[in-house]
Structure 1
Amino acid sequence: MTANILTVDDSASIRLTTKVTLTNAGYSVTEAVNGAEGLATAKGSSFDLIVTDLNMPVMDGLTMIEELRKLPAQAGVPIIFLTTESDADLKARAKAAGATGWLTKPFDPESLVKIVKKVLGR
């Protein structure tokens, strides 16, 4: 069974790179352009994993995670931050909000697939 992954990023080029990388690895990918759209998409569908940027307009990734974690259906869904940020305090805040992992942009496609496989356990 193919894992369904939601990617949330305001950068079209990052969304494309992420989608191509994950699709080529055999995953099904749905995209959202900001945290608000990501939250709405996650509420309307079932995902095995969410990969999100931090800094986005409308709703940032941290707020989206906090909102997702309030929903019983989203409580156990792994969430990976894919962001340019690498601040230790921010990583701690993200973990406290419910983030499962962190990957810094620019990212190596192989590293993304490796972390996705590890988080999904497949």
Structure 2
Amino acid sequence: MSERVLLVEDNSAALAQFRDALSNRGYQVTTAVNGLDGFAKVQTQKFDLCIVDHLMPLMNGPQLLKNLHSMGERAPTAVIFLTTQDLDVVEQLPELCIADIVLAKPLSTELLLENVADLLEQTSMAY
């Protein structure tokens, strides 16, 4: 069974690019266009990995991380946080303690895929 990934990204070009790359690698990808949409999907489905964009309408990435954390064992096993902001500033956000990896955008598809594979391998070995 392939891993289930939730991709939460409000930029339609980035969403399509990352969704297609992940799908082509065999991941089951569900997409959400903002944090509120993503949180609704996490409440009804179980995901192995959640990829969360930082700045989005309706519910931003840090708020989504906080909400995911509140779900306890129902939360995704792993989280990758994407941002266009300065990493030194973003990494100071208290909500980022929930993210396993923080990546700067623009982001190559290959770098994202490498991080996804590595993180899912680490989390599967932990169980």
Say whether the 8 Å CA contact 2:78–2:100 is kept in structure 1. yes
Kindly report which structure 2 residues correspond to 1:61-72, keeping only aligned pairs within 5 A, or say none. 61-72=61-72
Alpha-carbon separation, structure 2, partners of 1:78 and 1:84: 21
Q: Does the residue aligned with 1:92 lie in a helix, a strand or coil?
A: coil
Correspondence for 2:40: 40
Kindly report which structure 2 residues correspond to 1:1-122, keeping only aligned pairs within 5 A, or say none. 1-75=1-75, 77-93=77-93, 94-96=95-97, 98-121=98-121
Shift of 1:95: 2.7
Normalised by the length of structure 1, the TM-score is 0.92
Show CA shifts across 1:66-102 (max 9, x none): 0110112344621101221233132132432x01101
- For this pair of structures, how many residues does the alignment match? 121
Q: Which amino acid aligns with 1:50?
A: C
Identity of aligned residues (%): 32
Alpha-carbon separation, structure 2, partners of 1:33 and 1:14: 11
Alpha-carbon separation, structure 2, partners of 1:118 and 1:85: 24
Normalised by the length of structure 2, the TM-score is 0.88
Range that drifts further, 103-112 or 61-70: 103-112
Moved over 2 A (4+): 73-76
Show CA shifts across 1:37-78 (max 9, x none): 111101110100000100000000100000110112344621
Q: CA-atom RMSD, angstroms?
A: 1.5
